[in-house]
Chains A and B, each alone.
Chain A
Amino acid sequence: MADTLERILPRVQKPARYVGGEYNEIVKDRAQVKLRMAFCFPDTYEIGMSNMGMQILYGAINAEPDIWCERVFAPWGDMAEEMRRNSLPLYALESGDALDKFDALGFSLGYEMAYCTVLDMLDMAGLPVKSADRPELVPLVFAGGTSCCNPEPMADFFDLMVLGEGEEADIEVLRLFQRARDAGWTKGEFLREAAKIGGVYVPSLYEPVYNPDGTLAELRCLDGAPEVVTKRIVSNLDSAYYPTRPVVPSTEIVHDRVNLELFRGCVRGCRFCQAGYVYRPIRARSAGKIVELGREMLENTGCQEATLLSLSSSDYRQLSQVCDGLLDWCEPRSISLSLPSLRADNFSMELMSRLQKVRRGGLTFAPEAGTQRLRDVINKNVTEPELLNTCRIAFEGGWNGIKLYFMLGLPTETDEDVVGIADLAAKVLHVWRESSPNKQRGVRITVSTSCFVPKPHSPFQWEAQVDMAEYRRRVELLRHSITAKNVTYNWHDADTSFIEAALSRGDRRVGGVIEAAWRRGARLEAWSDYFSFKRWLEAFADCGLDPAFYATRERGEDECLPWSRVNMGVRTSLLLRERHRAYEARLSPDCRAECAGCGAAALLERGVKCDG
């Protein structure tokens, strides 16, 4: 290990996260591989190592024998300072090699508040942050992940972005890049060719043109760039790559467990939910396959916990079979099985009772809105009687903590809806008084609210976010409406939601703001330790832009949106229909009750049906 690093490590917090060497880490021979990729996660080791997308892609890319994909995370502040002070460039965990030894840097872009960290990592690698300032073909700097569904805010920094699922597309990109490198293509030649790969968005091939009022007039296609870039998906999850030997961290991370993915997509169509639209169509993994993968992964990792992941696990058709199959294996070995993202219904409670035989602490539900009217607006198909009934079963079964998640600032929200949250919490408390077999233990009911952030590719992509003053007023209103002392109220601060809203629907000019914020010191902005609202306002001012233009302005339905060249599978006409139904508080049936013909099924391979 390099002497400089060896001297720094004893001085920083949790040094184990900076050295690699974990069990199942993939080490290849530098001399034998033809291409080296650094998988860069713009957040800490603890967050990145908990990310299932990263586990999948790390394994899938390394399954190519002649490509070596290594992991790079953002160092915490103390380590970043030490590295800069000692001129130690950012390095990958497996080989310890500095990033200038790599052919390609691939970033995982999952949330907006990580944007500045991307720039910081590029800088720590000794690279100019802007694609235009890196004229050479090598290294390729690209990105994938959910946030790429609006590629424009980060367009200046990446050479290309991969839309949708990366298992196959990433490798196609890397192979083309390898050819280009070996044949000595220019960067421009490579990018024009790469743009022909499905799912690849090359920002330099789209030129934004603005109207006098600052809205986008058009994203002009250059050099024969495709009019629309359609995201990539994997059609068949049973045959898709799955990481059965994930890296086992040697130090504590956020979610240290075996992750088992049930299915992709969601049948529910909640109108605020970006994930519910951008991960379509619905593709399920078979129960047999999941049980097989689960046993294999538990044996390969020694983990004591497995969790089943999806957007809405209750909608997985063979949930009982999967749980039975896994419990048969887990119970005798004292391995616990957890199941988040359940709906608040009877079936879910029966399942929870089977999973949590001993430790019954808290359950979490997300009614999202306080009144039935507003829940209908957002198409959240949960009724109050259902929720209260579920709580009753939970309390009778010995659970004594319920967390309820809501959003404030949803479209059409009134004060009645806000106070409705307090009423709902009071009703849950009443149910506990009626049904708890052991009142001496007490009860904890927690109400949490966040400020609604309208997201691209959801039916609410045109909506204005409520301004910060109004959000704070609603928080106060709710705070004063909650009187029971068993009910705790937590609220998200307005500042981060406002910046998140401005970034998430930003255009290419917002890239300038991201760079200005980074130059002013922004990194790891998802952490309250580091987030600075003032710095963001200064960064917007540096660029002559107003964050409110992006966050709290309603878009015209005919406005050209920065993500208009991106097709995530769902037709805009469906998003509009859902938006209009929201204003009528009219529900749309879930995909299984009635297919809405959203268009996502067209992404599937011939012969594969949407499981909606």
Chain B
Amino acid sequence: MDKLRLRFEKTGKAVYISHLDLMRVVQRVFLRAGVPLRYSEGFNPHALISICLPLPVGTVSLCELMDFRVTEDIDLPSLPERLNAVSPAGVRFLECYEPSRKAAGLKWLEIRGDWEYDGRAASQFSAGVEEFFNRGNIPVTRRTKRGEGEFDLAAHMRGFAVEAAEGETLAVRAFVSAQEPTVKPELLPEALRELAPELAPDFARFTRLETYGADMEIFR
């Protein structure tokens, strides 16, 4: 038993913990739970923990994956409960297992968006929004570490659908590319603001629902 994978949720107050802070938080959870985490060798040993897909601050996730290593055998089924007993609010571990696929095989994320249109009925935007995101070509400006560039959002998302329109909130669902390239869910309302501002919501919150491989099978 060496390389292990944990699946966990990050909800509620925990959604504001940044990726880097979460690494530290998780490390302390392991220490409090007495799990024998493996550390790197060398002058500045660090815990061998890696969170597969960094989660943007403010996004809820029900499907986070984290790889880690331990120095001795541990009981996997009971691990989530051991960790949950000493975790901060909103971080909840779901299952632990020995992974069969590398994290690089994670290709798609299923996301839900709750989009708020202040003082307007969301239903009036359903058709327009759905039509917009099902176009064959959505050329948006995307800022990455390498600078600003044009990016075809349509090529890296699929299955966009409006699920419900209740009051001022539009619930949408889609699959977006998780890595190579990474499509941040926030890019969707940004695309509206850039190309169809009349459809853009006043506020959008997102939830990661599930992870998938390139084959569109659920990724574990």
Contact = CB atoms under 8 A, between A and B. Distances in A.
B205 A22 contact: no
Interface stretch (B20-28, B144-152, B172-180): B20-28
Interface stretch (A46-54, A248-256, A444-452, A592-600): A248-256
Contacts of B30: 302
Contacts of A15: 16, 57-58
Contact of A250 (B17, B43, B58): B17
Given A10-B57, A23-B87, A250 B14 contact: yes
A19 B88 contact: no
Contacts of A301: 28, 32
Interface residues of B, number: 27
B31 A19 contact: no
Contact of A358 (B12, B14, B43): B43
Interface in B12-50: 12-14, 16-18, 21, 24-25, 27-32, 39, 43, 45
A1 B90 CA distance: 13
B89 A25 contact: yes
B28 A303 contact: yes
A398 interface: no
B103 interface: no
A9 interface: yes
6 contacts: A16-B17, A16-B18, A16-B21, A25-B89, A250-B17, A252-B24
A498 interface: no
A25 B89 CA distance: 9
B86 interface: yes
A158 interface: no
A21 B31 contact: no
A252 B89 contact: no
Contact of A302 (B16, B17, B18, B27): B27
Nearest to A6: B205
Contacts of B28: 23, 248, 301-303
Contact of A16 (B12, B16, B31, B86): B16
Given A251-B21, A302-B32, A21 B58 contact: no
A250 B31 contact: no
A334 interface: yes
Contacts of A20: 13, 89
Interface in A280-339: 299-304, 334
Contacts of A334: 39, 45
Contacts of B13: 1, 19-21
Contacts of A485: none
Nearest to A14: B18
A21 B45 contact: no
B134 to A, nearest CB: 27
B55 to A, nearest CB: 13
Contacts, number: 66
Contacts of B24: 252
Most chain B Cβ neighbours within 10 Å, of A18, A251, A301, A304: A251
Contacts of B58: 9-10, 15
Contact of B203 (A7, A16, A299, A304): A7
A372 to B, nearest CB: 41
Contacts of B12: 1, 21
A15 B89 CA distance: 15
A250 B28 CA distance: 10
Q: Which of A16, A20, A304, A334 has the most CB of B within 10 A?
A: A16
B88 A252 contact: no
B16 A19 contact: yes
Contact of A22 (B18, B32, B88): B88
Interface of A: 1, 6-7, 9-10, 14-16, 18-23, 25, 248, 250-252, 299-304, 334, 358
Nearest to B186: A10
Contacts of A10: 57-58
B86 A23 contact: yes
Residue picked from A9, A22, A23, A299, most chain B C-beta under 10 Å: A23
A334 B25 CA distance: 17
Nearest to B22: A250
Nearest to B34: A299
A21 B21 contact: no
A479 B45 CA distance: 40
B32 A250 contact: no
A400 B14 CA distance: 41
Those 4 A-B pairs whose CB atoms lie nearest each other, nearest first: A21-B13, A302-B28, A302-B31, A21-B89
A322 B95 CA distance: 41
A251 B14 contact: no
B14 A21 contact: yes
A7 B58 CA distance: 10
B18 A251 contact: yes
Contact of B21 (A25, A250, A303, A358): A250
A301 B88 CA distance: 11
Contacts of A248: 28, 88
B43 A21 contact: no
Contacts of B89: 20-22, 25
Given A21-B88, A300-B32, A302-B32, A251 B17 contact: yes
Nearest to B86: A23
B87 to A, nearest CB: 7
Nearest to B32: A302
A6 to B, nearest CB: 7
A218 to B, nearest CB: 52
A10 B88 CA distance: 20
A6 B204 CA distance: 10
Contacts of B39: 334
B203 to A, nearest CB: 5
A610 B90 CA distance: 47
A18 B12 CA distance: 13
Contacts of B90: 21
A287 B13 CA distance: 39
Contacts of B57: 10, 15-16
Nearest to B33: A302
Contacts of A300: 32
Of A25, A248, A252, A302, most buried by chain B (CB within 10 Å of CB) is: A302
Of listed B14, B31, B90, residue having the most chain A CB within 10 A: B31
A396 to B, nearest CB: 22
Contacts of A6: 205
B32 A252 contact: no
Given A15-B16, A23-B88, A301-B32, 7 more contacts: A1-B13, A16-B21, A19-B16, A21-B88, A21-B89, A22-B89, A302-B32
A252 B21 contact: yes
A250 B57 CA distance: 13
A319 B39 CA distance: 31
Nearest to A248: B28
Interface in B59-112: 86-90
B83 to A, nearest CB: 11
Contacts of A1: 12-13
